[in-house]
Structures are given as structure tokens and as C-alpha cells.
Amino acid sequence: MMCFIQVFVFKQCKKLFAAGLLLLVFVSAYPAAGIITAAPLKVHQDTCSPLSTLPCNSLSVTLPFSLSFDAPVNASIADREGMGTGFTTVNNYSGVRLAADGPPSNTLVPGYEPSKIFLNGGKLQLTASKGIDYLTNNNQLNILGVKLATVKKLQAEVDVVNPYNGTQAQQAGLWYGLNDKMFIKLTISGNKVELRKETNDISSTVSGSTNQDQRITGVINGLNTKTVRLRIVIDSAQNTAEGFYSVDGGATYTSTGAGYGSPLNIAGMGITGSSAYAGVYGTYRNGTSAVTYSFDDFSIQSVAAPVSQLVNINFQPANTTIPAGYLADTGLPFDAARKYGWLDATTGQPVSLQANMRARSGTGDARQLTLVQMQATTNGQLPGKWEYALNNGIYRVTVSAGDNGYYDSNNQINVEGLPAIADQIPSAADKYRLAAAVVQVNDGKLTIDANGGVNTKMNYITIAPATPVSDAVGPKVSARLAGTLKSAGVYDDQVQVYITASDDGGSGLAAVQYSINNSAYTDYKLPFTITAAGNYTLNVKAVDGNNNQSVINTYNFAVAAQPTNGAYMVLKNMDNFPSNDRLVFSLIQTPWRRTSPDTTPYNANHDRVRLRVNNKGTGKLIISGLNLSNAPAWKIVSVNSDTLAKMPVSLNTGTYADVTIRFIAKDAATRLKVFTDTLTITSNDSIAPAKKVILSGIWQKAGESTNEPYAQQIISAFGFNTTVGYGHDDGNIDGSTRVPGSSEVNAAYFVKADLSKPVTIYQMAAYHGCCSAVESIRYHKKGSSSVFNVFTHNNLDGQSVLPRLTGSGTNLAQGSFDPTGTFGLKVGSSWSDRTQNYNGLIGIRFLKVYDGNGNIVPDAYFMNCDYLGTSFTNYDYQDNIYYIENIRPDSGSVHNSELASLPVTGINFAPTLTGNNASFNLTLKNLGNTYPDGSNDPAIQLKSAQIVGPNANEFSIGTFTASSLAIQATRAVAVKFNPATVGIKNAALLISYNNSRSPLRIPLYGIGNSTAATISVTKRIKGAADVNVTIGNNLYEADKNYRKGSIKIDKQTILSGVAGTDIDSLYQTYLSAAADLAETRYEIPVPNGNYFVRMHFVENYWPGAGQRVFAITLENAIVLSNFDIFNEVGYRAALVKDFNTSVNDGVLNIKFNPTANRVALAAVELFKANDTTPAMMAMTERPVNAERSLIVYPNPNTGSFFNLRLTSFLKNERVSVSVTNTWGRLIQTQILTTDGFGNATIPVTFNRVLDKGVYMINANSASGIKMYGKLLVQ
């Protein structure tokens, strides 16, 4: 306001400025006919000029405050008859008074014109003047109001009766503010309702929903014929203002901001910090004649929260048409000022779902042509839940779900935990579902989530107080059972239960419940799975908002018991690096970008990794748990498309589930922290029922500069023990020399180490300028400057581990190349040959790779890179870090030494009588060298020796102590063979040393004879041979006449040696199948009898575990399931398996059934025991009273294997042998067949070393014989 003229008036004005703001009602217009003669004006002696005819201490009112206009109010602003209106102030004006409004009636209160104010028939009538408070006009008259103390949240209301519908900006309504330059008004004009703010005479004149100073409705038909109740809500805590109107006496209200994304922001206006003024006004503005407005029931109150109204929200992308009467939710994070928005579905933190919004083409309800994908996780989308802030109370919520044209969902929408929509699978004939629910809000926020759904899509929602409705119709409820049926009503392994309910009566769903086997009813929240075998009765019911109950529906079904053996879990890190049991993440908490010299996009985090869980076994794999050791730092985002990661998950043979893990650590440190936690996968896996995966995460507060991880922190996060030798940078070295005490080596040029493999490079990290710069790694032939690009990383990943390839949103920066001859490497402007670099400095440091156990990894190096000769060169060598494998320096030391066994790589003992022993003197040698440049390969640290395998107890060595073996040095090891029984023998000597290829595996073979029986070879058969062949001085038959089923003659793609054998040619070709998962068989004619069968295997193709898995069946008995060659001995290493069997039909039948890829069989040998006892003893039968026994030996042992001997079972019968721990958890199962005397001896080898403890060995025969023993693992 402006203060002027007399000194005493100025002093009064200063008081008003100190007091604060005004809330006023105003009108301007001349009456339609005649001139009103005002009664004598009552002016108090100490008039509070220019705001009031009352004393200044009479302006303030206490809340709640109300005026009904039924009778005059003493000590208030008077009307034309001198009757008090109840108001205490009249706003002054600072602009030029319009001539049409005449001169002031009272120069001390110039904005007051009593002749145009009239209390009449219980209404306040204001004859509008022409002046208006709008921009710089500032000449509004008769803004009647009261002075208010500040409150947290204020609500003012008034009725406007039959408001004039004009086209010349004629208007009337509520006013709140300081003066005519700083105010908010809620106006009725031209049958529209508008909320507008003005700040220092500035208010936007932009049309449409982008106007930040206005919230306006469309034309409301018939508004001029109704009593319109206006409500303005001022929230000083949130700095927001909202306008509402009601045409049904206040039963329901509609917001003027329904077509806008947020309430009116009043921050910075200064109208909420102290006292203010509020009231009513009117003007005929651009009209040619005055208009009279009638007001009734004015009130002001302080409220804890806005009174609940009808709220309509449509979910849609920004810049799409907003349905009439709706607010647009465009995916913005929850905001207290706006009162609604999105939160992360797991953490509950505000999050943007703008990327999740969709608009579809087509016809129909416009509200259903837009949607939000509540559970999407791809392409920058995040799963979220939605909240709306309101008073606690009971609400009726209506929600729509569906999609016009895409039917890839199972929609579930939960309102305060109640599944209003559940198990809605859309189709072309049934695209949408609309449902109502009655819910209680207790925390001040209505919460909507999609838990239990799959790719749930929500269209719109309405929220209203749960007023009584007429509804005597009960709701409907049903259940759907999902699973694999073995027979009618019987489900294989498990069944998933979905329950859905609806209410057609109008009151809305209030509860959905179920009962299993007549137990107490439970609220249904999410689909659930029943896995326990048994018979079940499921009852479901629903209740609506009027307490009508549905008919109880009953479902009867059963879950069949499942065999627990045969599952084989194989994990695959879909990042491909560093390993399948270690996942590496990075996260910058505060999104990072550069703003100088140019503004870049924000960085991308590598905060999600996908772990594929495969079932490569013969039985069903059931995953029962995914357990995080540090849940606040990690999140299971999804299992396949299930964002709830519901357990259990059942996987048939050959299938998989993708588990997505997200790194979500927050506020972990002031700069950086490296997390090392675990994910434990519990399942019925026959080898590792509790399998652990390491989760390693690098958390940063911010990006670039000293916020980045150091090179050592990066390498350690990947689980390696390589030593960088410095912290942030290389100190005073500045790239001039190798770092002392580090794992660094001098190297400039390289050659391939293994000619059968390419050179492979993984970019581990990129920590340089972000986020527009990229970097490439290239190679070149020695002596040439022409470079060949291997790959380039994505520009958004310049502050990340495992950056992606440029142009790809998913594929990581990894690649291979196959050089011939000597080559060098180049990253940026840095060459591996430092003589080519700026000032001859080291731009790429090559470091030896040491694994997590401190063992050297042969032929692998870290490339730690820095940019040279720039203003930002800092010699930290972590701008780009690569892991490169299958290379060796072209000269000098190869930085690892091979351990060899001499004179053979596998020991074949001569046949030996039981009770006797044979010896073999083995020599271990370090094959490392000294080179012309003076460099040396390293010494080998021998750690331990152990004999393992099915007949380990029949082989031995003397005491073995740890020692160092210098290059070219040797160590003697005496190996003894002492057979205890007749048969072929098979074990392996494992020498552990400081190399990732450790242990050195030396196969041990022998034959045990006795005075009563000797072992002889019946057949030797070469796999994949069409002609007979002599290998290792032994003649092998061609398998051409024996092989059946799917057949492929296979061989090494590039010829190389095979570890663990001295006859490489036996393993370099092998029998495979023509197609994946195809059965391959041998049918070998032999005389009936008992045989020892030896099979030779090798993995010549696959570089990892789980890629070739198969089962072996002998004479219709499975003798080995889930056989994974690589998992046992690695790549291109010989592996022998021995079995016993009996042939009764003149043909030995062998079957190979893959569960991953195909069989790989190098050879088969058949042995037979020849009885040398007198003929009269040959038919001796087992005595009837022979003692039945089960013997486990050696016992106790270290837990890698045991031998099992059964005696006096029925002859030639199948026996199932299972190993369980003391908790009853199955470890392994194996099938054997007894011989013609009911006896059997088999080796049982574990694919992992068992934990210390007691294990139960159970033998169950087909005839019902059951025996058990115990194995103690120490």
C-alpha cells in the first residue's frame, strides 16, 4: 500500500506495515438503476487510515472467524445504512482512481465506498466498481476484509450467489494478501473459477497449463445459476495456495488446479511470514454497467490439513492433453507442496517415473489412453508406488488399469494394501478394469502400489470421502490356480494362487480374504505359492464398503511330492567379468556432469547387474531364497519380470532365471567406500544348496577429481590381490619409472600365449572426464603405426566400472582380437611402448594379475592408463583400466613359471597284487627360465599335496612340506600304489602352488589283482573313430559300429596339448552329438558278465563350467548325473571315470543324455575280472546267513570323496545312495547296481569339499533293503 498526506496518517500506515497482511472481500460496480445515497459515515476518532474507519487495535480477528450477514455487527465496517458488515478493513489502492468510480467518499480511507455496500436479506451485496487490482492498475474499491495472525495452514470460504456471467472480466471472489501489489485471489468470472497470484504487480499472462501464476477451470455450465462456495487454502509451511469450488453446498469440492501438475507456489511473496488480510471483492472491470454480487457465509479457520475433497488424477506424459476435471500426474517425484507423486517401490524415497509414462493412440475414454507403467525396469524406467497427502479418514478410491493395444501385463493395484484390482490379464476383448475400494488412511497419505502384479499399468484414479451409498449387492470373488498339472487337480511341485474380487453395488471393496484347510481367514495381499506336498482346500471371500459379503467359493487341489535329487545350479554373471560368483557395481550418489566449458549429460551408474541362474541338472531346481548380507546397500530388483522376487522359483531342466541386483548404498562416507557383501542363493542344488555370490560396490559421494576411486581400490573391488604400490597417484615418480614394491612389469610389445585362443580385453573402469568423452583401446603390429580398434566405451560411463560399449545401452566394453606376430597397444595418446609417448613417459602401466588367493594368473595383465602431456595429467593411472588375457611379453620373463611332473604327466602303475605295493618316483620341476635381458621367471611356492578320487586310499605319498622351487629346480615325490581289492583303480595327486592354475593334477591309475582273480582288458574303443587306431602302444577299436543316436565326429579347433595325460592324441578327437541336448548311445556286444568300465573325457571347446553337462546311464541305471567336465578339471585336461556294471543280454548299453550342450567322450575301456580259483569253486553261492553291510571308507576324511562298499544285497539290483547332512539337506545322490553276488563298491566324488561335520550315507534298494552309515568330515 502507499501512505501519504499527513504525518499522523503515515505513522498509522507504519503500524499496518508492521502488522502484516490483509484478507479482504471486494466488489466494484454501480447499481443497475439509480444512485444510492449513503447514510452518514461513521468514522472513529483514531481511524486506522488508510485501511479502516476503526481503531488500529480493532482490525485483528481470532480464528475461527465467520460472518453470516444475518444481522449487523458492532465495531465493523458499515454499509450504506450504517450497519456493521463484520469486516474490519478496506484495502487501500496505490494506482490512479478511475473517473467512473468518482471521488473518494472518505479521504482518510479512500478505498471505502459505503454507498455500494448493503446488508440485505441475510446476504452481503456489493455493487461493483470499475477499478481492479491487476498488474499495475491497482485501483480496486471496497475490498472488505479482516486482519489475521499467521497460521500454518489457513482456509477461507464464502458463498457467491448466482454469480454474474459476463464476458468483460466482471468478477467477484476471495482475496488474500498484503496489499494491491502482493496478493492471491480466487475469482468467479465468465462461469470459470480462477486462482491467481500477483507478486509486485507481476502476474503471468500466458495461456494454458504452463502459466505458473494461475490455476483456472474451463467453462462450468450453469455456474451463474448456482450458489458457488469458494474455498482458498493457504499453506505457509509448504508455501502453496490452492483454490476449490463446490456447487452442492460443500459436499464435494473441485480444485481449480485439476489441469495442472502442482499447487500454486507462493514462495517468495512474503505473505505467510506474519499477519495478513483476507476478505471479499468484486469489479465490473471492462463492462459498461455496474454489477451487484451477493455473498453469504464468509468464514476463516486454521486447519491441520485441507478438508478432503474429490480428487481426480490422470497418469500421462507431459505435454499431453489433460482430461477435463483432472490433475495430470506426469511421473514427478512425490513433493509435499504438490501433495502427490512417486516414490521408489522399495526404498520409499521420492523418484521420477517420467520415463514410465505412456500415451496410446485410438478412440475411447481419453483417461484410459494414457498410463503409467508401475513396474517397468528397462530403458531408464523404475518401479514405483504413488502417494497422495490428505487427512486421515475413510475414502472411496476408484482406479483404472489397462492398456489400449498391449496386453503384456497381469495388473494388480493395491490401495492401502487392499488389492482393488488383481490378476487382471488384459486381452483385446477385455482391455481395462475399473474398480473401487473403501480404505482407511492412518498416516496422512494414501498409498497405491503394484505389488503382486506383472508390468502393471494404471490409467487414472479418483479419491473421495467414503460417504454412504445405497448398496445391498454382495461383491464377487474367485481364485485362479497356476501350475503344472500332473493330473486333474494335482499340481507338480507347486501351485500359485491368485485371488480377484470386484464390487458392482457401488460401495467398493473393503476386504478380500482367504482360508487354507479351514484355518482362520487372512487378508489377501499378493499372489502366493504353495510348495509343500499335500491336499488343500482353499476358501475365498470378499466384503464391500456396506459390509455386504460375497458367497464363499471353495477350491480343492493337491500338490505332488517331488524327488529332491538331480538339480544342478550353474551361475552366469551377465557382465562376463570378473567371475560368475563375483559381481561388481559402482554408484555416484549425486548425479555428475560437467558444466564447463560445455554442459554434458549426467553420468550413468553401473548399479545394476544381472545374474543368470541356470538349471543344467536332470531334476527340477527350486530356488527358495535370495539372502543379502547387507540389505540396506543392495536390492533384488527382479527375478525375471517379477519385481517382488517372490520365492520359491522353480526351474525345469535347461531353463534359467535372471536375478537383477541393484547397488543402493546411500550416505556411506564423506568421499568413497568400497562395499564387499554377499548374496546367498538357497536351493535344492545337489552340490551347493547354499551358494554364495560376492557383491562388490564402489560408492562415491560425487564424481571426478579426488572423489574417484584409486587404482588400487578398483582392482581390489574386483577381487584381485595385485599391488599398485601407491594411493591417489604415483607420488614423485610422475610416470618416469616402474613403481617400486608393486606388481608392475616392464613390457612394450606382446605375443599370444595360447595360439588356440584370441586375446581378450575387458574394460574394468573408466574414471576420466565425464560425460561426453569416450576412449578406445587399439592394437598395432610392431613396427607399424597403423592401429586397429578393439572397442570404444560409452560417453556416459566416464565415471564407472565396467563401462558399456559406445552406442549400446547394455553391451559392455569388452572385445577380442586375434593377432599374428608381435603387437603393441594404444589407449588415447599413450602407447605400450613408452618411447612413443610424450617425453618418453609411461602412459600404460602393466601389472601382473594376482587372484583373490594371491596366486599369479598366467598370461594376464592389468593395463592402468593415464593421459600424458595435458593440464589434467596427474599420474593416477586409473583414467582407464583394462584386464587383458592370453598375452606374453615378446621378450624377457613371462612373469610366471610352469610346474611340471616328470617324466610323465600321469602315472600308470603296473598291475599289483592286493596287499602288495608298487612305487613310482615322480619329479616336480619349475620350468621357468632366465632370459638374455637378465630377467627371470619367478620361483614356485609349493604349498601342499593331496590324493583325491574314488580309490585315493589305495595310493599314497610320503610327507610333503611347503617349500620354494627355484627356476629349473626339481623336487622328488615318491608315489605308492597299494591295492586293497581287485579292480581298476583311479585317483589323482593334486599339488597346490602359487598359480591360479593350481593345483597341478597328476592322474594315478592302477590295477589290483589277487591270487584268485586278475583284471584283463576286454575292449578299448576310441571315440569318434571310423578306423582302428594305436595310441600309446594300445590298440583302440573304432566306435563306428557301436555309436547310436545323435552323432558328431568332433575335434579340437586348434590343436594343442591336453593336461593330465601323456597321450594327447587320445583326447584331441572326441565323440559328440549333432544337436544340443540330443541323446548319444553306445551298444557294444559283449559276453554276459560283470565289467569294469573306464571312460575318458575332455573339455576341448567350452571355457567355463555349466556349458557342457550330461548324465551317464549304464545298463539302464544312471551311474553319474550332472557331469560337468570343466567344473572338475578345467579346459583341455584329461578326466577318467570308472564304473562297474553287469551285462545280461549280450550287449553293453551306454547312454549319454545332456542337460547342457552335448556329450564329449574320448574313449571307453572295458575290463573284466578273470577268476583264477579252482573250477569247483566257481559256482560257490553266497551263504544264506552272510552278513549284510554298508562300509564307508576312508572315514573320517577331508570331504572331497569317499568309497562305499555294499555286501549281501540282492544280486543285480539297483540301489540309490544319498548323502545328507544332519539337518536332512540332500548333498548328492548316486545310483549303482550290485553284482551277481549282491555286492558293490563305488567311489563317490563331490564337486566341492564338504564342510566339517557328520553326514548320513543312505542306501535304498529297489527290493526295499535300507541301510545307512555315517561319514565324518574333519
The 8-class DSSP code of residue 17 comes to: H
Taking only the tens place, the pLDDT of each residue in 860-900 is 999 999 999 998 899 999 999 999 999 999 999 999 999 99
- Span 688-709, mean pLDDT? 93
C-alpha grid cell for residue 732?
614423485
In the chain, which residues fall in CATH 2.60.40.10? 476-560, 569-706, 901-998
Confidence of residue 563 (pLDDT cuts 50, 70, 90): low
Classify 140 as helix, strand or coil: coil
Confidence of residue 970 (pLDDT cuts 50, 70, 90): very high
Alpha-carbon torsion 814, 747, 826, 829, what sign? positive
Among 197-206, 398-407, 1117-1126, 1211-1220, the range scoring the smallest mean pLDDT is: 1211-1220
Q: Among residues of the chain, what percentage have pLDDT more than 70?
A: 94
Among 114-128, 138-152, 1061-1075, 1198-1212, the range scoring the smallest mean pLDDT is: 1198-1212
Give the pLDDT confidence score for residue 26 in this predicted structure.
37
Give the pLDDT confidence score for residue 1223 in this predicted structure.
58
Q: Superfamily for 1014-1171? A: Galactose-binding lectin (2.60.120.430)
- Span 249-265, mean pLDDT? 82
Amino acid letter, residue 218: G
Give the pLDDT confidence score for residue 1224 in this predicted structure.
61
CATH number of 22-302: 2.60.120.200
Quick check: 368 and 404 in contact, CB under 8 A? yes
Quick check: 747 and 862 in contact, CB under 8 A? no
Q: How far is CA 178 from CA 8, 67, 277, 822, in A?
A: 21, 22, 6, 83
Q: Superfamily for 569-706? A: Immunoglobulins (2.60.40.10)
Neighbours of 1263 (CB within 10 A): 10
Give the pLDDT confidence score for residue 19 in this predicted structure.
36
Residue 1178: strand pairing partners: none
Taking only the tens place, the pLDDT of each residue in 795-847 is 999 999 999 999 898 999 999 999 999 999 999 999 999 999 999 999 999 99
Give the pLDDT confidence score for residue 1222 in this predicted structure.
58
Confidence of residue 333 (pLDDT cuts 50, 70, 90): very high
C-alpha grid cell for residue 1106?
555349466
Q: Nearest 5°: CA angle at 982, between 981 and 987? A: 70
Contacts of 81 (CB under 8 A, 6+ apart): 39, 118, 119
pLDDT of residue 1171 exceeding 90, the answer is: no
The average confidence (pLDDT) of the chain is: 90
Q: Say if domain 1182-1273 classifies as CATH 2.60.40.1220.
A: yes
Taking only the tens place, the pLDDT of each residue in 981-1033 is 999 999 999 999 999 999 999 999 999 999 989 999 999 999 999 999 999 88
Among 340-344, 405-409, 640-644, 1182-1186, the range scoring the smallest mean pLDDT is: 1182-1186
What would be the CATH architecture of the domain defined by 901-998?
Sandwich (2.60)
Give the pLDDT confidence score for residue 698 in this predicted structure.
98
Q: How far is CA 290 from CA 129, 285, 561, in A?
A: 7, 9, 88
Give the pLDDT confidence score for residue 10 in this predicted structure.
33
Position with higher pLDDT, 12 vs 1036: 1036
pLDDT of residue 1044 exceeding 50, the answer is: yes
In the chain, which residues fall in CATH 2.60.40.1220? 1182-1273
Quick check: 1093 and 1114 in contact, CB under 8 A? yes
Neighbours of 765 (CB within 10 A): 31
Give the pLDDT confidence score for residue 928 in this predicted structure.
94
Quick check: 826 and 780 in contact, CB under 8 A? yes
Taking only the tens place, the pLDDT of each residue in 133-183 is 999 999 999 999 999 988 778 899 999 999 999 999 999 999 999 999 999
Q: How far is CA 392 from CA 123, 243, 413, 510, in A?
A: 35, 21, 21, 17
Classify 775 as helix, strand or coil: coil
Confidence of residue 1049 (pLDDT cuts 50, 70, 90): very high
pLDDT of residue 1134 exceeding 80, the answer is: yes
Taking only the tens place, the pLDDT of each residue in 765-781 is 999 988 889 999 999 99
pLDDT of residue 28 exceeding 60, the answer is: no
pLDDT of residue 322 exceeding 70, the answer is: yes
Classify 1179 as helix, strand or coil: coil
Give the pLDDT confidence score for residue 304 in this predicted structure.
53
Give the pLDDT confidence score for residue 262 in this predicted structure.
77
Quick check: 673 and 665 in contact, CB under 8 A? yes
Q: Among residues of the chain, what percentage have pLDDT more than 90?
A: 73
Amino acid letter, residue 1113: T
pLDDT of residue 38 exceeding 60, the answer is: no
Taking only the tens place, the pLDDT of each residue in 211-235 is 889 999 999 999 999 999 999 999 8
Residue 999, phi-psi category: left (phi > 0), alpha (psi -120 to 50), beta (remainder):
beta
* Closest to 654 (Cα-Cα) out of 1248, 1161, 1153: 1153
In the chain, which residues fall in CATH 2.60.120.200? 22-302
Query: Given 3.40.640.10, 3.10.20.340, 2.60.120.430, 2.40.30.40, which CATH number is that of 311-465?
Result: 2.60.120.430
CA distance 721 to 719: 7
Q: Nearest 5°: CA angle at 309, between 305 and 313? A: 105
pLDDT of residue 33 exceeding 60, the answer is: no
Q: Say if domain 476-560 classifies as CATH 2.60.40.10.
A: yes
Confidence of residue 1089 (pLDDT cuts 50, 70, 90): very high
